[in-house]
């Protein structure tokens, strides 16, 4: 699965993909993540990618030309299943959206800055708009990194124990159960006895009950769905 991310700040995307699970996934060729610097696709000498908004108002707008040049070049090289714009007014990212996107081969992601990107880029090229939540960040890079992480960890073979992604929160509509590791007792706080019993079926039942209880307390909306 291949990602092409278009950004005016490629440096912001260096670290998120250079460590741990995302780095291993690339080394194992389970995914390829390419970051493109938007400034390399401008025709003006100053390499600027933004301009004042028509109609006035505060903030700058990212111009159509650099995005169009970069997108057209990438599209000439391969077909894209989705061209996604990260934006606060998009569909809010959740596990279901991430699960749906792992079916794809090539995904392009556009990162905005300033006031956002010229509406015509969205009208002409973008096939999906995704928000990471109801708050506004300064750029689309962190949202893009979050989206890529959410998708890549689902690719079979990326996590060492494949079932671990399936047992995470939201996959079955429930939050995850509490987890414990050594030592058995820490300053009077003990691991629940059931987890030390070695009784697999009873442990599974306990975990399911904990998931239900936690979901009921923290996210009753998930149970209603
Ligand atoms: N004027 C816009 C906000 C622009 S913020 C508005 O009010 O909707 C600048 C850029 O940061 C956006 O173009 C987008 O790419 C990114 N961004 C900010 N918040 C985001 C969020 N919650 N989800 C996804 N992308 C976001």
- 6-30: pLDDT as tens digits: 999 999 999 999 999 999 999 999 9
104 domain residue, yes or no? yes
* Domain tally, the chain: 2
Judge whether 19 lies within some domain. Answer: yes
Regarding whether 90 and 137 lie in a shared domain, the answer is yes
Do 109 and 77 sit in the same domain of this protein?
yes
Same domain, 34 and 10: yes
Q: Are residues 38 and 118 in the same domain?
A: yes
What tens digit of pLDDT does each residue of 65-85 get? 999 999 999 999 999 999 999
Q: What is the pLDDT of residue 166?
A: 80
Q: Residue written as tokens 């109609």?
A: 55
Q: Which residue of 136, 145, 150 sits with most ligand 1 atoms within 8 Å of its CB, as the best mutation to test the pocket?
A: 136
Contact 192, 180 (CB under 8 A): yes
Which among 152, 182, 215 is the end of a domain? Answer: 152
Q: Go through 74-89 and write b for each residue having 16 or more CB atoms within 10 A of its CB, e for each that does not.
A: beeeeebbebbbbbbe
pLDDT surpasses 90 at 54:
yes
Residue 161: inside a domain: no
Tokens of 148: 């890529």
116: left (phi over 0), alpha (psi -120 to 50) or beta: left
Domain boundary among 119, 152, 185: 152
Question: Strand locations in 66-215, DSSP E?
Answer: 82-92, 106-110, 128-131, 185-186, 189-190
Decide which of 107, 124, 152 is a domain's last residue: 152
Residues 122, 192, single domain; the answer is: no
Q: Using CA atoms of 167, 168, 170, 173 in order, give the dihedral in degrees to the nearest 10.
A: 30
Strands 32-37 and 2-7: parallel
Whole-model pTM: value is 0.96
119 lines ligand 1 (CB under 6 A): no
Considering the domain architecture, whether residues 137 and 180 belong to the same structural domain is answered as: no
How remote is the C-alpha of 164 from its chain's centroid? 18
User: What CATH number does residue 7 fall under?
Assistant: 3.40.1280.10
Q: What is the mean pLDDT of residues 96-104?
A: 97
**Distance from the alpha carbon of residue 135 to the mean position of ligand 1, in angstroms:** 8
Note down the domain range covering 36. Answer: 2-152
pLDDT band at 88 (very low <50, low <70, confident <90, very high): very high
Averaged pLDDT score across all residues of the chain: 96
pLDDT band, residue 171 (cuts 50/70/90): confident
pLDDT at residue 162 in the model: 62
Query: Do 127 and 48 share a structural domain?
Result: yes
Q: Is 206 inside any structural domain?
A: yes
* Domain-embedded: residue 16: yes
| Span 92-115, average pLDDT | 97
* Same-domain pairing of 84 and 129: yes
pLDDT of the residue at 163: 67
pLDDT band (50, 70, 90) for residue 93: very high
| Together in a domain, 208 and 130 | no
The answer to whether position 157 is within a domain reads no
**Per-residue pLDDT at 63:** 98
| % of the chain residues with pLDDT over 90 | 93
With the most atoms of ligand 1 within 8 angstroms of its CB, the residue from 62, 94, 116 to mutate is 116
Q: How far does the centroid of ligand 1 lie from the alpha carbon of residue 36, in Å? A: 19
pLDDT for 160 equals 81
> What is the atom index within ligand 1 of the atom nearest the CA of 110?
15
Q: Compute the average pLDDT of residues 122-136.
A: 98
Count H helices and E strands in the chain, helices first. Answer: 8, 9
Q: Predicted confidence band at 36 (pLDDT cuts at 50, 70, 90)?
A: very high
| pLDDT for residue 114 is more than 90 | yes
Report whether 41 contacts 70 (CB < 8 A): yes
Residue pair 211/175 in contact (Cβ under 8 Å)? The answer is yes
DSSP letters of 64-98?
A: HHHHHHHHHHHHHHS--SEEEEEEEEEEEP-HHHH
């Amino acid at each position: 699965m291949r990602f092409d991310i278009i950004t005016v700040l490629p440096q912001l995307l260096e670290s998120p993909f250079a460590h741990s699970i995302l780095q291993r996934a690339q080394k194992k060729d389970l995914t390829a993540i390419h970051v493109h610097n938007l400034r390399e696709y401008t025709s003006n000498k100053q390499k600027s990618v933004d301009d004042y908004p028509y109609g006035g108002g505060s903030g700058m707008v990212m111009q159509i030309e650099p995005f169009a040049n970069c997108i057209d070049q990438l599209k000439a090289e391969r077909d894209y299943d989705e061209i996604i714009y990260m934006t606060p007014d998009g569909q809010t990212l959740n596990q279901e959206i991430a699960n749906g996107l792992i079916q794809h081969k090539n995904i392009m992601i556009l990162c905005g800055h300033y006031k956002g990107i010229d509406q015509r880029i969205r009208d002409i090229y973008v096939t999906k708009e995704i928000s990471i939540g109801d708050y506004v960040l300064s750029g689309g890079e962190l949202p893009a990194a979050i989206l890529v992480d959410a998708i890549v960890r689902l690719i079979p073979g990326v996590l060492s124990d494949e079932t671990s992604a399936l047992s995470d929160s939201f996959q079955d509509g429930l939050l995850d159960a509490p987890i414990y590791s050594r030592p058995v007792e820490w300053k009077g706080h003990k691991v629940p006895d059931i987890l030390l019993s070695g009784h697999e079926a009873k442990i599974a039942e306990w975990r399911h009950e904990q998931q239900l209880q936690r979901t009921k307390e923290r996210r009753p909306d998930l149970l209603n769905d």
